Structure formats: structure tokens, C-alpha cells
């Protein structure tokens, strides 16, 4: 069986206030063309179909058009909701849409109920695990503890229980939207940390023939059978070095697997430039970036006059301007943002406690309180967005 694995479309998202609807339409044209030309048997979309819980009408129309085109091809499509989607909104009409071969899996209660497909070698059971917010689904799934690992373990328990009752030799595919340990993140993914922990071990999916992951925006292989397709477009400059692709997976009769990357169209390359303004304007080696979306970080000790206007004359698609003056390491005016770079909310909060106490950080009980407070804020944001 030939499977096309994609995820993280984020329909409706912009790039530094530049609309991407046209680029997203080009990607969907490419997706449909790939399905047809590569004779794909099933399409998997591993969450974050939309960029937010209440997407703009233009994004909904584009999604509707994509569903019609996939249905017209007669190729089954399985989609799950991600942490950016409103599961309830995305799942509206799922029962009716399923008649057209589009299978929306947005309800955690359905984790153990597969979409059952077949080829000349027998059945393939595809299980959709939508994004599982631990505080919202723990009780429903009967998880033994709070956290992403516990709720995914409970969901996979339902998958294995269903699979155990099927005919020997039934192959299995799981779609999941999660941060799996070993994956590399980027700046454009929303934090899903709970209890100070975001990542779950890949061993959770042991025994499954293929795991189609969504959430991280870089295409990557966690294990031979556990993979992220990544987003089809770059949504932050941290993705400047990404090669945007989908996975074309061939699932053999015995569960053997081969996977090939299929490149996605690139609307415009990304470039991160750094240095004094005059150097960026004069350096002939930067000519190749003149048609790129540019993030310029200026290191001038004194902020230059009209830097954006001057940059745009050479790099018309400059969309981000950052000031990071070169200073000595001991300079007290060194960038606050630079000192925080790469640190989690938990680490920043603990550092603040140590700062106001003259170097004494939080004890275990206080650390637990800080963790609970950060989790509560993040959960409140999630609930408000879902209710949206």
C-alpha cells in the first residue's frame, strides 16, 4: 500500500504579515498532483490543518476545495486534529464526509476505532490519535497520570486492544500529533509543555508498522517507522534550512517499509542576514538573497538611520528587522533577549526567583508551584481558543 504522509498545513497562517494563501493553494495543487501521478492509495494528514481554532473564511474555503479534490480522486484520506485546530469545529460533519472517503478523526474516544483499508495483501488499520491535551482527556481515556506520555499510553492501549482482535497479519498505521523525543523543534510550533515536559518517548508506538507524526515543522525520522513529515511551508525563519517535503511510504505485505521524500513547492527562499547595515548593503556575496524573504539582524553599536527603508532598496522582501548590537560579554547593556534565548518558561521563572533572592533558587515545593502555574496559564489559553 502506498501512503502519502503530510501534516501541519496551518491554513490561514501568514509569514511576518505576508499572506500565504496562494502558496498554500500551490501546495495543495502539488499534493493532489502527487496523489494522482504516484498512484497513492491513502493520504494521511497528521494535524494542524488550520492555524487557529477559528480560521478565516478564505482558509475554510481552501480546505473545502481540497476535500472535494481528494474525494474526486477516490483516494481515502485520514485527517486528525492538531493543537492549533478546534477539534470540534474540524470534526463537524465527519460522519457525512466519511461517505466521500474523507475520514476526520478529532474525537479522543475514537482512538481505538480504525479506518480499515485493504490491498491485495490484506487489511491495513489506520488509527487516528488527535492532539490529546492531558488535562482535557485524561479522565476520558482513563490515563494513569497527568501528562502527554500517560494519555498517549492510554490511547495506544486502545489501539493495541483493537489490533489484537483483528486477523493475523493486519498491518497498522497510527497518526498522532505530539512532540516525540528525538525530534528537532522550530520557533513556529506552539508550546505543548505539561509539568515541565513536552516530549514523549518513541517507544510508546512500538509494534506499529508506521507512525505518521505531526506537530514539529521539520521533516525528520525518529526511527525507521516513526516519522514527521513537517510543514509544507516555512512558517518562521528558524526553518530557513529546512527542506520541505512529504513522505511517500510503501507498506509491504509483511509490514516492511520504504519511504521517499517528495519535495514541496517553495514560494520564496528564506535568508537570515547578520552584520552592520553598511556591510549588508554593500557585500556582493549577498546578491543571491535579493529575491528572498529576509530577516536582517543589525549589529551596529548605534542604531542606523532608516534601516528598513535602506534594506528594502536592496532586499525588497525584507520582513523582519532585529537589532543586536555587538557588545563585550561583560557589558551590562547586553541584549535581554539574548540572555533568554533557548531557555524555557520554567527556567526563566526559576532564574527570576534566584535573582530576587540573591542567588537562592526555588526548592522542590516551590518548583512544583511554578510548574503548576505555568501549566494552568497554558491550559487556560488552550481552553479559550477551543471555546473560541
Residues of the chain whose pLDDT is less than 70? Answer: 194-197, 327-342, 356-358, 379-388
What predicted TM-score, i.e. pTM, was given to this entire model?
A: 0.86
CB 265 within 8 A of CB 30: yes
Say which DSSP state 279 is in. Answer: H
**Domain residue spans in the chain?**
2-263, 270-326, 345-387
CB 227 within 8 A of CB 213: yes
Q: What is the pLDDT of residue 372?
A: 77
Longest dimension (CA), the chain: 72
Q: What is the pLDDT of residue 27?
A: 98
73 grid coordinates:
480522486
Residue 1, classed as helix, strand or coil, is coil
CATH superfamily of 2-263: Metallo-dependent phosphatases (3.60.21.10)
Give backbone dihedrals phi and psi of 297, rounded to 5 degrees, phi first: -105, 115
Amino acid at each position: 500500500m502506498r501512503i502519502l504522509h503530510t501534516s501541519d498545513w496551518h491554513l490561514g497562517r501568514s509569514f511576518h504579515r505576508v499572506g500565504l494563501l496562494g502558496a498554500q493553494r500551490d501546495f495543495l495543487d502539488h499534493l493532489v498532483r502527487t496523489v494522482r501521478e504516484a498512484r497513492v492509495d491513502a493520504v494521511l494528514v497528521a494535524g494542524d490543518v488550520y492555524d487557529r481554532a477559528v480560521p478565516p473564511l478564505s482558509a475554510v474555503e481552501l480546505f473545502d476545495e481540497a476535500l472535494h479534490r481528494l474525494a474526486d480522486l477516490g483516494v481515502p484520506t485520514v485527517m486528525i486534529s492538531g493543537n492549533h485546530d478546534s477539534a470540534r469545529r474540524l470534526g463537524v460533519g465527519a460522519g457525512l464526509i466519511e461517505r466521500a472517503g474523507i475520514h476526520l478523526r478529532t474525537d479522543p474516544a475514537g482512538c481505538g476505532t480504525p479506518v480499515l483499508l485493504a490491498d491485495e495483501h490484506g487489511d491495513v488499520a489506520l488509527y487516528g490519535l488527535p492532539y490529546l491535551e492531558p488535562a482535557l482527556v485524561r479522565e476520558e481515556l482513563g490515563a494513569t497520570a497527568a501528562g502527554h506520555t500517560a494519555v498517549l499510553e492510554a490511547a495506544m492501549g486502545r489501539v493495541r486492544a483493537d489490533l489484537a482482535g483483528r486477523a493475523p497479519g493486519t498491518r497498522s498505521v497510527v497518526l498522532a500529533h505530539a512532540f516525540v523525543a528525538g525530534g528537532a523543534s522550530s520557533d513556529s510550533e506552539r508550546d505543548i509543555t505539561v509539568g515541565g515536559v513536552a516530549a514523549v518517548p518513541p517507544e510508546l508506538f512500538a509494534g506499529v508498522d508506521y507512525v505518521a507524526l505531526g506537530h514539529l515543522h521539520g521533516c525528520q525520522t525518529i526511527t525507521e517507522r516513526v516519522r514527521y513529515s513537517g510543514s509544507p511551508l516555512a512558517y518562521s525563519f528558524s526553518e530557513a534550512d529546512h527542506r520541505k517535503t512529504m513522505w511517500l511510504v510503501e507498506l509491504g505485505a509483511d509490514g516492511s517499509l520504504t519511504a521517499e521524500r517528495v519535495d514541496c513547492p517553495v514560494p520564496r527562499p528564506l535568508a537570515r542576514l547578520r552584520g552592520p547595515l553598511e556591510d549588508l548593503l554593500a557585500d556582493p556575496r549577498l546578491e543571491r538573497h535579493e529575491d528572498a524573504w529576509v530577516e536582517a539582524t543589525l549589529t551596529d553599536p548605534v542604531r542606523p538611520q532608516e534601516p528598513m527603508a535602506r534594506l528594502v532598496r536592496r532586499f525588497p522582501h525584507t520582513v523582519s528587522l532585529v537589532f543586536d548590537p555587538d557588545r563585550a560579554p561583560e557589558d551590562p547593556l547586553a541584549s535581554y533577549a539574548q540572555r533568554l534565548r533557548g531557555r524555557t518558561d520554567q527556567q526563566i521563572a526559576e532564574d527570576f526567583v534566584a535573582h530576587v533572592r540573591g542567588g537562592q533558587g526555588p526548592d522542590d515545593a516551590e518548583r512544583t508551584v511554578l510548574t503548576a502555574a505555568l501549566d494552568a496559564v497554558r491550559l487556560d489559553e488552550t481552553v479559550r481558543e477551543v471555546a473560541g
